A and B are shown apart, each in its own frame.
Chain A
Amino acid sequence: MRKLEIMKKSYDNMCIPGELSIRVQQEITKSRQKQEENRNAVGCRRRKRILFGMETAAAAVCILFTAALNMSPVFANEAEQLPVIGGLARILTFRTYEAEKDDIAVSVEIPTIERIAEETKVTVDAINREILARCNQYAQEAVQRAEEYRTAFLETGGTPEEWEKHNINITVGYEIKQHGSDYLSFVVRGSESWTNACNESRYYNLDIETGEIVTLKELLGSDYIELVNRSIREQIDERRRAGETFFSAEEGGFSGISEEANFYINENNRPVIVFEKYEITSGSAGEVEFEIIV
């Protein structure tokens, strides 16, 4: 049924009213405020639990925690989730901050890698510095973009009240993909609530033994590009048969990976190639992943 495909396309291209994101954001803000009230009500209990968790952790690490990190609920959650002493390296929230100016809300959570075994002499400082610089730069640029949007909005007849309702949010954060005994894999993301155009994701894969960034070449050998391309093409064919759509070559679909392809290492220690939204298929599919099995 080719007609169904044509319909699917026009469905995917349906125009979305701008009001949608404003109304969705409204609900989220409303809900967040409610959450905040609830949290304040149980605030005392929460803090106690954090302290309890800390006591059970190694004392030395405890000092490091309090010295280097902001105490935040987010951090508390992460600490609950990760084994306190696991591999040789782990990831921590280095700093979090939230700011608001001109009704542009910024929330930043910058990760940092920490070596647990100091004597191995491997440093990850360079990577940490890069992450920090990247996060700060993204946040700064995003605020600038939002400010430009605000100026344009006000100059074209928008009122400050209407602007406030836009609830512009800028978020920088990270997500751990794998924290195993061999690799540490995570992604740092920056996003803006009002546009998808400038979202940024950067993947980091570390060999826990050496503290070095792992490349696809190291994982798959020197003909990795060919290998990965073949595997992805096969998987695309397979998924097409299962009913998924991908852009064709003329539509700007998959045309082979570059040396800088985004990937993370999953719990099976296999690389997973990630394509950004809109990269090889319609936006509705979001990010698309391919596990490469050799």
Chain B
Amino acid sequence: MKQMLYEKLIQYILENQDRFYRVAYSYTRHQEDALDAVQNAVCKALEAYKSIKKEDAIKTWFYKILINECLKMVKKRKGILLTEDISEQGEAYYEKGYEQDNDLEKELDRLEDDIQGIIRLRFFEELSLKEISYITGFNLNTVKTKLYRGLKKLKENMQEVDV
């Protein structure tokens, strides 16, 4: 059975790698970091596949690992930023292929990191609130509050811009 699970996991990874990259990129905003995060997550997942409880849990289980790796990358990058000249980085974060002239995207970026993450997981990855709660480690009600607070803020800020 464990062997089947292993194969299922590999299949899942192969089929969804593009999604993983998108998630990683939306967290790290950096191609190299996103690739590193996905690779690390795949490596860790394959090592720890025995800890998956049920086959249907593969998705949330993997996302949890992935998000963890992304946050690690972001942290590392922030550490580097402090020592480097910040002005040099700035715009370079945005790469081609990712819409940046969208003002909503800018507004989204201004929200707190965990709220941004929740909004992205909910609307772009289309995960349920319960799944997000498991992945981020916040309890369900916290996820709800953060999501609605984030959306409200977005709406307010957008209206200012739209006028």
Contact = CB atoms under 8 A, between A and B. Distances in A.
Interface of A: 1, 3-4, 6-8, 10-17, 19-21, 23-24, 26-28, 30-31, 35, 73, 77, 80-81, 191, 193, 243-245, 283-286
5 contacts: A1-B151, A1-B154, A14-B22, A20-B35, A81-B4
Interface residues of B, number: 43
A37 to B, nearest CB: 14
Nearest to B96: A15
B22 A7 contact: no
Chain A's interface: helix, strand, loop or mixed, by majority? helix
A116 B74 CA distance: 58
Contacts of B39: 23-24, 26-27
Given A14-B98, A20-B18, A77-B4, A28 B26 contact: no
B97 to A, nearest CB: 3
B1 interface: yes
A11 B3 contact: no
Interface of B: 1, 3-4, 6, 10, 13-19, 21-22, 25-26, 31, 35, 38-39, 42-43, 46-47, 96-99, 102-105, 108, 120, 122-126, 151, 154-155, 158
Contacts of A6: 99, 102, 104
Nearest to B99: A10
Contact of B124 (A11, A23, A30, A283): A11
A243 B108 CA distance: 19
Contacts of A73: 3
A145 to B, nearest CB: 17
Contact of B18 (A1, A30, A80, A283): A283
A16 B26 contact: no
Nearest to B3: A77
A286 B108 CA distance: 27
Contacts of A77: 1, 3-4
Among B6, B42, B103, the most chain A Cβ lie within 10 Å of the Cβ of: B42
A24 B19 contact: no
Nearest to A243: B126
Contacts of B42: 24, 27-28
Contacts of B123: 4, 7-8, 243
A83 to B, nearest CB: 15
Given A14-B25, A27-B43, A243-B126, A286 B17 contact: no
Nearest to B42: A27
Given A27-B42, A28-B46, A7 B104 contact: yes
